[in-house]
Chain A
Amino acid sequence: MVVDAERVLVTVRDPGLVLVMRPDAAAGLVETARIPVAADAFGIALTPDRARALVTSAWTHTVSAVDLAANKVVFSLDVPREPRGVVVSPDGKRAYVTHLTLPELTRMDDLNGAGRVTKVPFAVAPLRSREAAPEAATLAYTGVLSPDGARLFVPRRALSGDGKRPWAGQPVVDVLLTGDDSSLAQPPTGRLPGYTTKELEEARTFGTGRGPFADLTFGGGFPIASEAFIQPRAAVYRSSTRTLLVASEGTDAVVELDALAIEPGAHVLRRHPLRGRTWSPKAGLERALVIGRVDGSLYRIETEDGQGPLARDETGLLNNASSGILIGIERRKSPPAEMVIRQVMPDDSPGETMCGAPTGLALSVDERTAWVLCRTTLGVAEISLEPDKDLARAQRISPRVLKLEDDPLPAEAALGRRLYFNASDGTLSGGFACAGCHPEGRDDGHVWQELTDSQDEERNDPKSEPCATYLATPTLPFFFPFVGTNFVGTPMQYGYTRQTPMLAGLLAAKGPFGWKGRSPDLPSRVMRGSSLHGWNLPEQFCGASNMKARALALAAFARAGLFNPPRDERPLTAEEERGKAVFADSKTGCQTCHVPATGYTDRSVVPFAESPLVFEKSGPVKRYEPEKDRMFKTPSLLFVGGTAPYFHDGTAATLEELIDKNRDRMGKTSHLSADDKKALAAFLRTL
């Protein structure tokens, strides 16, 4: 949505529209125009002269320019997958588009003419990425330009970043210098000096003093910052302070970051919690030092005689306690405070928050107030950006929230929606929400290495699909956090490859679910799948007694609340009709398993030979384990055109490649002519 003095412009996803409205004192907002654009319209930005609007359409991978005087599209350009955020430079000459599933940006030039797009490589967390997969990025919903247009800030998730939760990387704000489209962050050059013998002796005396310091970087390890945010969803630039406000979908918070820094994500200036006060220290707590293993961080909690305002760090504790294994604290008198730390079970108030899944951000003109759209609680929260010392206690602890409407979902599904985006539910998420890998119920386009525990070897038992753990690895190189990457050149085979599956529109069947079809129903799959989100022992997730209610809620939301990607309702073209015939032909046998009447799957589990592409694409070193069990559940082909790459291991980049190199492992396609293969791919894109 964009607003200027006379208009409010809103994108509508299905059907793809730009709604133009004018404010009216009596009637509120009055629609003045309805401009069709490509389906799944998402981001919008105005040119400086306000004559044109640029609109991204995510599923249809299109950017359109709309003439706001004529209320019509003047050009539409095809761009890579999932374009989302769009910004226009202050001089109106260029625009940049972020992609939800890709590391690169799209630059648009000639905005006042016919438009032109260029792919702009954009390093992902270049100072903190593992060598193995430096291009792995996700969740770039938005981008923000500095007022002078010199810097473009892109909050996103660096899956290759060395973070607190290694399997899911590190949240970052990458900065592009628009003058030459280079990353502000550049890896170090040169070597730092070493030590004298005397200094070495001091340094080796561990624990007795700091000794001399030198650059201790080795092999690829990094100082690990706590996660400033999880699942960045929206951002605004605050000019008066030269800071960035970033909405953290997974932790129900807004963080304020330093826009002057090379790595704004590592320069957290302030946290604005939106969850509200859900935990309080024991009465009498005056000053306490808490060293916790909630997420490996150290927290300091200060109160004034147990009654006074809680320091920001307390709310930080709440908002960072994403493992859900909360710290119980007791204190003993007088500093230095000595704490007794114990682990307690997660509280069982799932989804409790005042502002769930912050999704939109807006600043007041004086930049002293921010408003936050709370997606899962259907409200708007107001945050005062005044210094803490000028705020009343209540303002520091809880935001003001305006409820917009009653939840149209049934209670169970509404709870499921809150949980789906919540990265802090200890039982369910382990630090990264469902929405982290399945944004909006879609796939993130990445392939992961599935690390399995010993139980996984017992795969012959259909009832014992294991709790597994996944590591991000979009290009299939091996990396193992903390150990493997620190020793470059020691490849190991570890884990199986699994592409993130799309969920929306594909969960209607009763079952079975899972790659191997071992979960008889969806709640069972949720319970199994929740173990993918953390490093805890399997029984902590799979066997958690409070897991079932969450799984039922999530399953209810996944079926009732996830929106299918829009379909292009039109007659098939001649080529698509030809592809449909090829698909239905008994010689190819596609629909033997991909049955049209049941969502293009029969949900059967069938043998599937290993792809020759594995060997072509993984290089000389095979970095993962061969599949011991090559039985896979037949996947649905619905929406398959928008979920590249393909196969469970992501080895086919396009549908054409999938068909061309199928080698008769799925049906028979070797006999097809080039035109038939092309037609088949065209038909698949219509599903």
Chain B
Amino acid sequence: MMSKEEGLRSMKLRARWVAVVGALGLGIGTAWAGAPDVPAGATASASGPGAVSGSGAALVPSAPDTASAAAPPQSKTPPVSWEGAVPLEVARPSEMCKAVRLGEWARVTCSPPGFIMDIRLMAGSADGVLFREAKAEGGAHLIFPMREGDRREICVSVQTGSGYTVEEDLAVVVSEVWLPGEPAPTIAIAGNPR
């Protein structure tokens, strides 16, 4: 027998899937169509500061990537190709994600365990933000511009639950903050924040 809570969650999920389908239906024909998949080379380059080896979250943060601050805004649209991307300094990296940048553009590639249920922009401007499948990594690319004034947060949720239930759990949270006057954005990633 399902508990009352389970019942409510089940109702929620049913409602959510209905709404997801609806949301998808509304999205036909809008911008960003046809952006190519990421070149494998760009992904392979993400072994610098943005990538983490070993287990557990890094507690001592890295310095912000001031190089990105030196680059003036280049485009209102995200790069089509990520060739030439360099590792992006992530103050608080996660082993679930790797990060590169190309000029002012950041691409955070996250591969949380499980089926990605959805990705959401929780805070900040949607301008230029793009979420793409990362087939090679079995995850998703989170692409966004880094501009002064940013207070952006992106959440990646995965499907969880067991037996007769399907649930959505927060798996990755990417926070990008670039307050006025700061030399560079501060990017913090929490992987599997349970």
Contact = CB atoms under 8 A, between A and B. Distances in A.
A197 B28 contact: yes
A605 interface: no
Contacts of A193: 27, 30-33, 130
A195 B28 contact: yes
Nearest to A320: B194
A486 B22 CA distance: 13
A262 B167 contact: no
Given A258-B188, A269-B59, A482-B8, A215 B177 contact: no
Given A193-B32, A204-B24, A262 B123 contact: yes
A223 interface: yes
Contact of A291 (B28, B60, B140, B162): B162
B153 interface: yes
Contacts of A69: none
A539 to B, nearest CB: 11
B136 interface: no
Contacts of B119: 213-216
A162 to B, nearest CB: 10
A622 interface: no
Contacts of B12: 221, 481-483, 486
A193 B57 CA distance: 32
Given A258-B188, A261-B175, A298 B15 contact: no
B61 interface: yes
Contact of B116 (A188, A210, A214): A210
B42 interface: no
A222 B154 CA distance: 12
Contacts of B3: 535-537, 540
Nearest to A299: B194
Nearest to A313: B194
Given A193-B130, A211-B133, A298-B194, A256 B122 contact: no
Contacts of A487: 15
A194 interface: yes
A189 B161 contact: no
A491 B174 CA distance: 34
Interface in A375-400: 387-388
Interface string B19-31: 1111111111111
Contact of B190 (A212, A258, A535): A258
Contacts of B56: 270, 312, 387-388
Contacts of B157: 223
Contacts of A388: 56
A364 interface: no
Interface string A259-285: 011110011111000000000000000
Nearest to B180: A179
Contact of A292 (B122, B124, B126, B162): B162
A199 B120 contact: no
A241 B27 contact: no
Interface residues of A, number: 81
B30 A194 contact: yes
Interface string B135-146: 000011000000
Interface string A465-500: 000010000000000011100110000000000000
A535 B127 contact: no
Given A260-B91, A268-B190, A483-B11, A214 B27 contact: yes
A267 B175 contact: yes
A326 B5 CA distance: 16
A292 B179 CA distance: 40
B151 A212 contact: no
Contact of B26 (A194, A256, A262, A341): A194
Contacts of B83: none
Contact of B160 (A127, A297, A320): A297
A188 B133 CA distance: 22
Interface string A541-552: 000000000000
Contacts of A269: 57, 59, 92, 190
A463 interface: no
Given A261-B173, A298-B160, A192 B28 contact: no
B125 interface: yes
Contact of A200 (B1, B4, B28): B28
Contacts of A243: 59
A531 to B, nearest CB: 11
A166 B8 contact: yes
A218 B22 CA distance: 9
Given A185-B123, A214-B27, A293-B162, A263 B153 contact: yes
Contacts of A187: 123
Given A211-B133, A260-B61, A482-B12, A186 B123 contact: yes
B186 A260 contact: yes
Contact of B60 (A219, A240, A261): A240
A178 to B, nearest CB: 12
A73 to B, nearest CB: 38
Interface string A130-170: 00000000000000000000000000000000000110000
A454 interface: no
A677 to B, nearest CB: 45
Interface in A214-254: 214-219, 221-226, 228, 240-243
B166 to A, nearest CB: 10
B27 A200 contact: yes
A197 B19 CA distance: 18
A216 B179 CA distance: 27
Contact of B170 (A204, A224, A292): A224
A387 B59 CA distance: 9
Contacts of B92: 258, 260-261, 267, 269
A296 interface: yes
Given A226-B194, A296-B161, A241 B173 contact: no
Nearest to B130: A193
Contact of A214 (B4, B22, B131, B153): B131
29 contacts: A166-B5, A192-B121, A192-B131, A195-B24, A196-B28, A200-B24, A200-B27, A200-B28, A210-B116, A213-B118, A214-B131, A216-B20, A218-B22, A221-B12, A223-B169, A225-B170, A256-B59, A258-B57, A261-B173, A263-B153, A266-B170, A266-B173, A267-B190, A267-B193, A291-B161, A293-B165, A388-B56, A483-B15, A535-B3
Interface of A: 127-128, 165-166, 177, 184-197, 199-200, 203-204, 207, 209-219, 221-226, 228, 240-243, 256, 258, 260-263, 266-270, 291-293, 296-299, 312, 316, 320, 341, 387-388, 469, 481-483, 486-487, 534-537, 540
In the A-B complex, the 10 residue pairs with the closest CB atoms: A194-B27, A482-B12, A535-B5, A190-B126, A213-B131, A267-B190, A194-B30, A193-B32, A216-B118, A196-B33
